[in-house]
Amino acid sequence: MNVVVVSNRVARVEADGPMAGGLAAALLPAVKSFGAVWVGSSGRTRKLASKDSFAEVEAFGKGALATVDLPESQYKGYYEGFSNSALWPALHSRADLIRSTEEDYACYREINAYMARALLRFCKPDATYWVQDYHFLALGAELRRLGVDQPIGFFLHTPWADRSSMICVPQHKNLVRAMLAYDLIGFQTDDDRHNFVDYLRNELRLAATDDGVTSEHGTCRFGTFPIGIDVDAFAARSAKAVTSSEVARLRQSLQGNKLVIGVDRVDYSKGLCNRMRAFDRLLTVQPNWKRQVRYVQIAVPSRGNIGPYKELQAELAATVGEINGRHGEIDWTPIRYLNKGFSQASLAGFYRSAQVGLVTPLHDGMNLVAKEYVAAQNPADPGMLVLSQFAGAAKELDTALLVNPHDIDAIAQRIATALRMSGDERRERWNAMMNTLRTHSVHAWFSEFVDALSTSRETLEPAAEPTLVPAVGGRTYVRRSVERFS
């Protein structure tokens, strides 16, 4: 099988690993070991006619990385416009931030069509296409329009919000109809899959079940495939990183203080302001922690040309200044706010140095930082993860300290609990989380999705009576309807 993975961007690889986390860090090891071709934007735009769509390819392990230069005239409307000003806020239940125009939607569809033409370069008889994330919801339909009959799957890395949020995108019906051209759609959690099925039933009036639906495009199946990480590789990276000069400088600068760490893109879905206010609350209610603990927040700049992101950047800077001004002393500052990115190697060492990992998004598809923090820990003396109950990772890492990210007092209390937790309890909780991470690694995620896609066109006989059966992906159980397929 010739697997072609498609995403908005292809990861940039440095000597010590990928520069970014998230999807990029997750896909690289799978592509390298599985032998897939990964296609995405080069990050460059050109004034090209549509017929000039092309990809440059370079070998990467057993696989290859291929890049496409996208057309300049449509890129801004596609990326800053529809993808991140309409879809992203809708998918993260922020309907109040949705900004959508017909011009931006047209750019989005045109870029999806442009990428489809580029992918014809890889259209071999045994090809299987696997499209990643919200930037390319319509790519499957565009490939079908070009006559591609090979299996095409789609995986959504973000949440799929409830119907009340999704219908706020003016073009929602056309877009979701296009999604049904995929043979298989994968979600991070059962909740996301159920929300999608609820949308199909109530907005498109389709007889959808938790397993799939039949539409004018044919059969489209659904499954839950929570993404993982390369656990052992990340653990080895963190053990090596503790000897680096950068990590040594961090530890020396703490002067014996305990470390709470957060690592996120600057995004309103990450709950960064609430997190900082919770640390402020901890120092106010339990002042004995002053000069005993510091909070380092790495906040990677993101989408700075979009209004809500500019406003958030200013709010974060003001919040940090206010808290440091209230609690700081001439030789001690409670919060270090680093508005820059670090390599995965450096982050692995930072995670291992932190007694608390603070991951409190308001709404997140999975959040691989949570999994990376756990994998990076010293088995003899692991730190503790404080995790939002609204991150997809909370469905798996249930021995973390789960918290409502809107509850400032509760976050402060969880931080204090993590800081005081005994070594025995921390090791017990950490071992349970590591067992889960090893069972559901990125390699398992990749293989399970590709295997499910390869069988997605098999005829499924409906049960005579509704029965409990394994869902696609083999991890959850759902009730199959007798009227699922016609």
- Report the catalytic residues: 157, 364
Q: CA–CA separation, 429 vs 400, rounded Å?
A: 7
Question: Distances in Å between the alpha carbon of 246 and those of 256, 365, 408, 424?
Answer: 17, 31, 32, 30
Q: CA–CA separation, 402 vs 384, rounded Å?
A: 11
Structure tokens at 9: 């961007």
Q: CA–CA separation, 15 vs 237, rounded Å?
A: 12
Q: Which residue has the tokens 């416009």?
A: 81
Nearest 10 degrees: Cα torsion 88, 91, 93, 97? 30
Pairing of strands 258-265, 218-224: unpaired
Question: Distances in Å between the alpha carbon of 156 and those of 83, 180, 193, 366, 474?
Answer: 13, 13, 10, 10, 18
Q: Which residue has the tokens 């070009």?
A: 146
